[in-house]
Amino acid sequence: MTIAIYAGSFDPVTAGHLSVVRQAARLFSHVVVVVAVNPNKRTLLTAEERMALIREAVARHPNVSVTFTEGLIVELAREIGASVLLRGVRGATDAQFETELAQMNRALAPELSTLFLPAEAHLAEVSSSALKERLTRGEDVSAFCPPAVAAKLRERLSPSLRSHP
């Protein structure tokens, strides 16, 4: 059984993230989506909220589970017996950053492989930050995230956004 970890802050989870999860669910016996908690990073949603939104979004994939960690992803990978670290890549900028991260992880845990998976092309420019920005401008974000994510963001960002699609 091959276990893969897909880690990120997921603040919030986007359709691009979920595209990567769908691909991974077809490739691996088990995929663990990890909400990585960085105490130095300011997030809009709590780790519990992010995990709940991801769980709802991946519920139809029986081989996908969701957890969180405040530690190093490579340590969690060792604890659960994962052999692959998954990284979503949107474009050249992501590729550079993700390659550097993969090299650091390889130095820490040479037994782990990193696999880059691109999201679907029409989702390539949708980051969690861009999603929040679009929503605050009153734009429809339904193509870029699950309805529960849009609702949670509207709730959190501004009461005046609750009535928008």
Closest CA relative to residue 67, chosen from 21, 35, 104, 38: 35
Lowest mean pLDDT across 19-33, 113-127, 147-161: 147-161
Does the pLDDT of residue 90 top 90, yes or no? Answer: no
Does the pLDDT of residue 13 top 60, yes or no? Answer: yes
Does the pLDDT of residue 73 top 60, yes or no? Answer: yes
132 carries a ligand binding annotation: no
- How large is the C-alpha radius of gyration of the chain? 16
Percent of the chain with pLDDT over 70: 95
- What DSSP assignment string belongs to 93-136? HHHHHHHHHHHHHHHH-TT-EEEEEEPPGGGTT--HHHHHHHHH
This prediction has a pTM of 0.91
- Residue 159 — pLDDT band, cuts 50, 70, 90? low
User: Is 3-124 assigned to CATH 3.40.50.620?
Assistant: yes
Amino acid at 141: V
Does the pLDDT of residue 165 top 60, yes or no? Answer: no
Task: Dump pLDDT digits (tens) for 21-50.
Answer: 999 999 999 999 999 988 888 899 999 999
29 carries a ligand binding annotation: no
Per-residue model confidence (pLDDT) at position 70: 93
| Helices 15-27 and 47-58: angle between axes, nearest 10 degrees | 60
- Residue 136 — pLDDT band, cuts 50, 70, 90? confident
- Residue 6 — pLDDT band, cuts 50, 70, 90? very high
155 carries a ligand binding annotation: no
Between 90 and 48, name the one with better pLDDT: 48
17 carries a ligand binding annotation: yes
Per-residue model confidence (pLDDT) at position 92: 73
Task: Dump pLDDT digits (tens) for 76-87.
Answer: 999 999 999 999
Catalytic residues: 17, 41, 90, 128
Does the pLDDT of residue 132 top 60, yes or no? Answer: yes
Rounded CA separation 133/155 (Å): 14
90 carries a ligand binding annotation: yes
